[in-house]
Amino acid sequence: MVGKSNLPEELYDIKLLFPHFFNPNKEKTATKQWLVKSAFTTSAVGLLSSFWLNWANKARIYGQENLYKALEGRPKDTPLITVTNHHSCMDEPLIWGCLKNKHLTNNSLMRWALAAHDICFSNKFHALFFALGKSIPIVRGDGPNQPGMDFALDRLNEGSWLHLYPEGKVNESKENIRVKWGVGRLISECRVPPIVVPIYHFGMDSILPNRKPYIPHLGQKVTVVIGKPIAINDTIEELKRNNATKEEAKLALTNVVQKELFKLRITAEIFHAKHLQGASK
């Protein structure tokens, strides 16, 4: 497959990383043990991220209510997708310092996330840690139709929350770059139209610069802006009326997400400039 590295496939084989999703006869004790370990991992990482973002550094977060409402108020079968820019390897998981402790310690509520297989699943320890942390390996270069994306779609169709970095890489230049089609595929193929919440942030790369020696810094200013849900239902209905192909639907929905994400960037830039200048909220 295009994009594959020399890593052994068992490190990022979806069926081996998340066996209880594929084997209904899997021993219940083993499944329970996996879930307990996953709950511990996500809670510990989440709480540490909250401390690091809000106490070890100086974060200003706007629009939290948009995400809280989506997390707590959506119908059980309605999936949630969040999308954000990617400026630092610390974006995930620090971005979730915007959540409340009750969210961070609720494993069934917390997000699934797409993660680069060659970075996060590079050895057995990393693979286990990130899998328990509800990260799904994606092989960059293999496109939107690969096992990790299929698994992510299944989680969405269960009504879960999935987080995406649709730029597909750490955007060191911070220029607006084309959003990957995978987000369009996931939205278009959900059985129930998902709630899609955009997020834009600045300052994460000051906590962990994208250069060696990759040592996290303290006391940095970070700004996170959480937008209102993107209006995608009209686009979905129009695509149905026009009998759009799958490719047309992917492209159209990706464009909608990209437009809103780029628009939110402007607001985030304004707020972050004020933050850097020391202005009050």
Angle formed at CA 95 by CA 258 and CA 100, multiple of 5 degrees: 120
pLDDT, tens digit (0-9, with 9 covering 90-100), for 94-147: 999 999 999 999 999 999 999 999 999 999 999 999 999 999 999 988 999 999
Tokens standing for residue 103: 């969210």
Provide CB contacts within 8 A for 13, sequence distance 6+: 147
User: Which pLDDT belongs to residue 5?
Assistant: 64
> How many Cβ atoms sit within 10 Å of the Cβ of residue 185?
22
C-alpha angle with apex 228: 224 to 230, nearest 5 degrees? 120
Question: What confidence score (pLDDT) does residue 38 get?
Answer: 96
**Domain boundaries along the sequence of the chain:** 9-277
Q: Which residues contact 201 (CB under 8 A, 6 or more apart)?
A: 84, 85, 87, 91, 95, 222, 223, 224, 225, 268
Is this model's pTM higher than 0.75 or not? yes
Give the integer Cα–Cα distance in Å for 163 and 128: 19
Q: What is the DSSP letter of 142?
A: S
Amino acid identity of residue 218, one-letter, is L
Per-residue pLDDT, 258: 98
Q: Is the pLDDT of residue 3 over 60?
A: no
Could you give the CA distance from residue 139 to residue 152 in angstroms, rounded to a whole number?
13
What does the pLDDT read at residue 233? 94
pLDDT score recorded for residue 175 = 96
Residue 82's H or E segment, with its range, is strand 80-84
**Three-state DSSP class for residue 35:** helix
Please give the pLDDT value at position 107: 96
Specify whether domain 9-277 bears CATH 3.40.50.300. no
How do residues 264-273 score in pLDDT, each as one tens digit? 999 999 999 9
Identify the pLDDT of residue 2.
42
Find the length of the chain. 281
Mean pLDDT of the chain: 94
Give CA–CA dist 183/160, Å, rounded: 15
Contacts of 97 (CB under 8 A, 6+ apart): 49, 50, 51, 52, 53, 54, 59
Average of pLDDT values for 243-249?
A: 95
Give me 141's structure tokens: 């270069």
Cβ pair 95, 51 in contact under 8 A = no
Answer whether the bond into residue 209 is a cis peptide, omega within 30°. Answer: no
**Starting at the edge strand that comes first in sequence, how are the strands of the sheet with 195-202 ordered?**
58-62, 221-226, 195-202, 80-84, 161-164, 112-116, 135-138
How far apart CA 259 and CA 179 sit, in angstroms, is 10
